A = this chain, B = another copy of it.
Amino acid sequence: MRVLITSGGTTENIDQVRGITNFATGSLGKRLSERFLMAGHEVILLAGLQAIVPDEQKALTIIRISDVASLSTAMARWLPTSDVVVHSMAVSDYTPTYMTDFDTVAASGDLNSFLAKTNDAGKISSQSDYQVMFLKKTPKVISTIKVINPNVILFGFKLLVDVSKEKLVDVASQSLTKNKADFILANDLTEINASQHHAFLVSQSNSGFVIEESHTKDEIAALIVAKSEETYDKNHSGRNR
């Protein structure tokens, strides 16, 4: 199988010297890549600029991703020929459009006028005590995956912070349906550290949602590889992986 893995975080530039970064080390994406490679699959790894990645090796292609726009471009390039997508990247929800001093915004009668503005300078000036930044939603990359390649097996990720298991599974189930994903891995930042990574892999069967629990990055990686192979075999009965 050819497996497309996204890993690490994206950064949306504010100006040429600053940006909004999503924190993500890329360590799960690295572990996932290594597991798929060990199982004999080809891996295309779209990795954030700061993400850790596996050592160079045959059957592994690493492409560095800066922002959401570059992620979309790489997706469009690699998705049509992939069998599996594991979209674990922490993608920026919003991108900055304009930043200016607070007094200018407070004095304006029409806040909507700021939504169309952009900054000219390479480095936004910084004199005032308070500043205001306007941001707009980025395109949801996950929602385009099954549109571009309806046959791909899609693993999406949902990261929340300090919520109940019920909330995690509920959000994952919604994402599963909305994005036509085959699996959503739901995890909570407060349960991720160097030694543990608690997660629920949510999928749908004829009789309802199926929830499988993992406790470490290695368990998550093993489970995702096994589920990928199982689903591929079911979809392609009689054909080689």
Contact = CB atoms under 8 A, between A and B. Distances in A.
Nearest to A103: B111
A38 B90 CA distance: 41
Contacts of A162: 122
Contacts of A159: 17, 123
Contacts of A134: 102, 130-132
Contacts of A129: 136-137
A162 to B, nearest CB: 5
A19 B14 contact: no
Contacts of A106: 111-112
A107 B128 CA distance: 24
Interface in A125-177: 126, 128-137, 159-162
30 contacts: A11-B21, A15-B161, A16-B23, A16-B161, A17-B23, A17-B90, A17-B189, A18-B21, A18-B22, A19-B23, A20-B20, A20-B21, A21-B21, A50-B50, A94-B126, A102-B115, A106-B112, A122-B161, A122-B162, A122-B189, A123-B159, A123-B189, A129-B136, A130-B135, A130-B136, A130-B137, A131-B135, A131-B137, A132-B132, A133-B135
Q: How large is the interface on A (under 10, 10 to 19, 20 to 34, 35 or more residues)?
A: 35 or more
Interface of A: 11, 14-23, 50, 90, 92-94, 102, 105-106, 111-112, 115, 121-123, 126, 128-137, 159-162, 189-190
Nearest to A92: B18
A156 to B, nearest CB: 16
Given A16-B189, A17-B22, A17-B90, 11 more contacts: A15-B161, A17-B23, A17-B161, A18-B22, A94-B126, A94-B131, A106-B112, A130-B134, A130-B135, A130-B137, A131-B137
